[in-house]
Amino acid sequence: MRANLPALSSVQTVSLRHVDRTGGERTLEAKIFWKRAEGLSRVRIQVHAPPDDRGSAYLLRENATGDPEMFVYLPELDKSRRIHPSGASGALFGTDFSYEDVGRIQDLGPDVRAELLPEASLGDIRVAVVAVTVPPEGGSSYSRIVYSVDAERCVPLLIEFHDAGGALLKRLTADPAKVTREGRGWLVRSVSLEDLKNETRTDLVVEDIEVEAKLSESLFSQADLARRR
């Protein structure tokens, strides 16, 4: 899974369509900037539309201690704030993705204990199943995350998020027909994240991607979040 990431960086243009329990819809357009520096990942999400949300930004930085740093900038507050681990379950720009999910979906995470379960299948696709136990002291809203990974392309096609009591809280499904080769690895271009408790769903579609883009380190600083791009 990690080998599917670009060697150094990528820029994805995405849309996120949130559907509430009554069928009401709201769509965000954003760019996701990702960079690896000294073996650690940085992720920045910058919202461009709709106008009311333009300029909103989120930053996640891995560090050597294993505890990621998370920051969010909202134009109406005109300042960035740090997200404490206890607040990592908060909704990212009103979608079903939490601040924590951004890191969990991209990688297994530095603080996990992973167990390889018996191989399974999703339709006619053979998948490796990896169960991750998340330590409670990290402040996560999850106790266990189960990844079903395409055995050939090593991309997660199903991720199941279980809460502290063991109940299934969220389910992320990927469209196997929307997996494309980008640079050295494979990329899932269409996923849906369901919040089973609140009966809501967010569909994320990758409209465009640039791999190995030249991204400055300052782009991933808290001070730069207020700059609109």
pLDDT score of 106 more than 70: no
pLDDT digits (tens, 9 = 90+) for 117-147: 999 999 999 999 999 998 877 678 899 999 9
Q: What residue ranges do the domains of the chain occupy? A: 2-224
Express the helix, strand and coil content of the chain in percent, nearest 5 each: 15, 50, 35
Tell me, what's the pLDDT at 107?
60
Domain range 2-224, CATH architecture: Clam (2.50)
The confidence band for 79, taking pLDDT boundaries of 50, 70 and 90, is confident
Rounded Cα distance between 50 and 195, Å, is 23
The dihedral sign for the CA sequence 128, 156, 138, 65: positive
From 17-26, 101-110, 140-149, 172-181, the region with the lowest mean pLDDT: 101-110
pLDDT at residue 54 tops 50: yes
Identify the pLDDT of residue 228.
58
Query: Would the pTM count as exceeding 0.85?
Result: yes
In the prediction, which pLDDT does 136 show? 79
Displacement of CA 196 from its chain's centroid (Å): 18
Over 80: is that where the pLDDT of 75 sits?
yes
For residue 99, give both structure tokens.
């601040």
